[in-house]
Structure 1
C-alpha cells in the first residue's frame, strides 16, 4: 500500500538530515545536559557526552528504525506509534547534542518552557476536536485564540483581575464560535471558507483596535496583570517532573483538567455519545430523537470557550500586553494537531506538546548561544508540523459528517 511508505520515507529524510550535521559541519567538544533545578529534592548529576559520538549513535539507531519501518511497509504492516516516537526522541537527542556542543543544555527548562508554549495549542486543539466531532470544521481556531487574547488583555487591564480577563477570553471565543455556527450550521455556508473569513475578520478588528485604541491608552487598556506561578507542595520538588509539570500557572493546571474532562466526556458520557453520533451520522441521530442543530451549536460554543482560554495564555501569562497578530498562526498548528491526533483529545494534546517543544527549542538554543541559524529555528515548528501531518499521521479518517451541513428533510 503506498500510504504505508510515508512513515519510512519521512524517517529516512530525518535520518539524512541528522547525518548531514556531522558530515557537513562537525562539532568538537562535549555536550552537557543539565537535569536539575533549584528546589528539587535532590540533584541529578549533569550528563556530559561527546557531541559527534551522540550524533553518530543517533544516526545508526535512526537507520535501524527506518529499516524496520520500511520492512513493515514492504510487508503491508503499519509501523507501531511507539517506534515512531522512539525514532523522534533519538533524532532530536542527536540534533540537540550537536547544537549544544561545548555548552550546557538545561533540559528541564527546555521541557517546562515547551509545556508552557503548548498551552494555547492544546486548548485550541481541544476546541478543534470537539467541533469536528460534532461535524463542524473549525478553521477559526486562530481567530478564537487571537480574540481571546485581546479580550483577556483589555478586561484584565480594566478590572485589575486576571480571572476577569480569563472569563472575557472565554466569552470572546464563544462570540467567534457563534458566528461560525450561525453561518456553518444555520445557513449552510462552506465551513472552511467561513473559518478563514472569521480569522481575517478577527485579525482586522484586533489590529484596528490595537493601533487606534490600545496604543493610545496602553496603561489603562493594555497592561493586564498576570497569573503567578503556583508550585504544588511536595510534587514540585520531584526532580525533572516537578519543575516541568507542577511549577506552572493556573492555566496549565486548567489544561490538565480540560484534557481529562474532554476525553472522559467524549467517550464515557451520554453527551459525548450524542456529539459523536451527530458528527458521524446526523440523520440517524435525528431519527432517535437527538436535536442535531442544538447539539452542534452547544458543542461549537463550548469549543470556542475552550479555545478562548488558550488565547488568554498569551496576554495573562506569556507576554506583558496584547500585540497585533500575536498568535502567529498558532490556530493553524492547533488544527494540524487535531489531524495529527486523529480527532482524539489525548492524541491531539500530545501532538500539540510536540509542536510546543519545537517552538521552545529555538528560544533555548538562542539563549545558550548555539550556532544554529535563527532563520532555521524560526521555521522549525512549521517544518515539524508539515512532516508530522504529511508523513507520520498515517491513515486517518475524520468524522463522516465533518464539514457537511445537516439539512433536515
Structure 2
C-alpha cells in the first residue's frame, strides 16, 4: 500500500514520519518529504530515497561507462567449456543469445520470491510468494540453472521475512514501526500473544511461521489496537492518524471492529482475547513486559513513542472502539541460493569452486545465515560481495586468494 502522493522517505526519516501526530519533528519531516515529492512531480522530476535512490545511482554509473543494460532478457543457461563458466545464454528480443565473458559470470538475479513451488518445497506449505514485497521477476530460474551445473545450495528455507497486512487488492501493507508503538499487541488465532511484537521483522516472520499449526493457527496473526492508537500513529504504510480503516478491509474480512474488547473477541472467535488484553494492560501500566520483553532492547525502543514513558513501546489498550487487522509473514525477498565463498565464488557440494562463476545478493546463500543483523543487510551484502566478486575476477586480490 503506497502513500497517496510522492513522498521520498529515508530510513532515518521513516521513524519520525510515523510520529507525525505526536512530534514536531515528525510533522516537519513529513511536510518536507511531501513538499519534495509533490514539488518534484510538478516540475516533472521524480525524487527517490532509500533503495530506489541507490539503484538509480548504480544505473547512472553504468550509463556513464557506456555499459549496455538489457531488460526483459532472462538467463536460460550457462556456457561451460573445459569445466569453466565462460558465458551465458539469455533470451534477448525473443531469441537465445550467447554472451561470452572473459573473466567470469556474476549471478545477481535475486531470489525465488515469486515461485510458489520453490517456496512451498524449501520453506513452508503456507508460503507461496503472494505476500512478498520482492520483484515480480524473482522466480528462481537462475538458482535452478546454477544447481543444474553443480552448484550447491544454502539457506533455502530463509527469507527476509516482513510482517504485512494482506490487502484486498492483492498488495500488502508493511508493518514495521506499527509493531513497536504503544497501544497494540499481536495475537494468534486463539487471541494469545506469542512474541515481542517489536522484534526485528525477520525474526517476527520466523516466529509466525514456526508457531503456526492447524490446531494453533498463527497465519494469519492479528494486530489488536484501540482508538487511541489509531488517533496517534500511521498504520499499514499509508493510513494517516485518525483515518478510518477502509471499508474494503472489513468486507474482505481482514479487519474486525468492536465497541468493547469482548465484542471484538466475539467477532474474531477468540475467547482468550479479553484475558490477553487485561494481562497486557497490567504490564503496560508497570512499564515492563514480563512476558516477552517488549521495549527491553534498543532496537525495540528505536521505533517507539518518545512521549510515552517509562517504556516507549508499551501503552494500554483501553479506549474503544477496538480493532483487529490480519498480519501475515510477507518478505523483502528470499535469501537462500547458491553457496558462495568469501570471494563470492560459487561452490559445489564438496566445497570445490566452479571456475568462472560468482554469486551475490539474494541469488547467493545469505552471508548472515538465518539472522537479521540490522537495517540494510540485504543491500549491504549484495553490494559488498558484488565488489568482492568484481575485484576477484579482475585479478585484484593476488596473494589473498
TM-score range, shorter chain: under 0.3
Give the helix-richer structure, 1 or 2.
Answer: 1
Report which structure shows greater RCO (CA 8 Å, sep ≥6): 1
Q: Structure 1 length as normaliser, TM-score? A: 0.25
Q: Structure 2 length as normaliser, TM-score? A: 0.26
Give the strand-richer structure, 1 or 2.
Answer: 2
Give 1 or 2 for the bigger CA radius of gyration: 2
